[in-house]
Each structure stands twice: as structure tokens, then as C-alpha cells.
Amino acid sequence: MALFNSKKKKQQENESTEPRVKVDQSSALLHGVVAQPHITEKSSVLSAQNKYVFQVLPSATKIDVKNAIEKTYKVKVTSVHMIRIPSKTRRVGRYMGTKAGIKKAIVSLKSGDRIDVITQ
């Protein structure tokens, strides 16, 4: 028990000496909402109409996506459309598996605003 208590005391001493940093929860959540741009032929056609497609977290709402895009890319969002694509079963030989479902957001921007989406 003495060994356990001495380790616990050392951990408490280390924790007390480290400065505590306050994290702004709103900004931390906003940056985690948008996963990545969704690059397809259809999204390329939509970008000509000033609409951009992003993969978002399954728990994301339209308001979360709007705020995240506006703060990240410094543009004005006029509307957001959400699409949920369900998971699907796939088969390779005798093995069955599932392909993960995703949630996409189609973001319309104010005329004159643009987002430079870099493909990977």
C-alpha cells in the first residue's frame, strides 16, 4: 500500500505543478464538425454553382456546419442541406462486411464568396 500511495502523491504533485489551460468549448467543437471536403464529379459541378460538399460528423446539425464553415473559411453561408448515406453490406468472396455510412452537407455560399478546395 505504501508504494501505491507514494505513486499517487507523485501524480498529484505533477498535476498541481502543470498550469491549467482553459479551452474554449465552442471553437473546439466547431473545428471538429467538418471532417473533410467530399470530392466527386457531382461536387465539382456544384462548385460552379457556388455550392460545396463536405463530410460532417453524424451528430452535426445545420447550424453547427454553418458556423464551422463561416469561421474556418471566412465566407458567408446562405443555406445548408444535409444528406445521410446509410451503411451498406459488402461481400468479398465468402467474407461479409459493412461499408460505413456517412453524413454530407451541401453548403451554399453568398455570391462572390469562394472556397479553394484542395484535392488529395
- The CATH number covering residue 104 comes to 3.30.70.330
Residue 114 lies in a domain: no
Residue 39: which domain range?
A: 29-109
Exposure string of 32-59, with b = 16+ CB inside 10 Å and e = fewer, is: ebbbebbeeeebeebbeebbbbbbbeee
Give a yes or no: residue 44 inside a domain.
yes
Is 34 part of a structural domain of the chain?
Answer: yes
Q: What is the total count of domains within the chain?
A: 1
Summarised one tens digit per residue, pLDDT across range 53-86 is 999 999 999 999 999 998 888 899 999 999 999 9
119 within some domain: no
pTM, to two decimals? 0.68
Query: First vs last Cα of the chain: how many Å apart?
Result: 54
Specify if 86 maps to a domain: yes
Q: Are 56 and 72 in contact (CB under 8 A)?
A: no
The per-residue pLDDT of the chain, averaged, comes to 80
Does residue 65 sit within a domain? yes
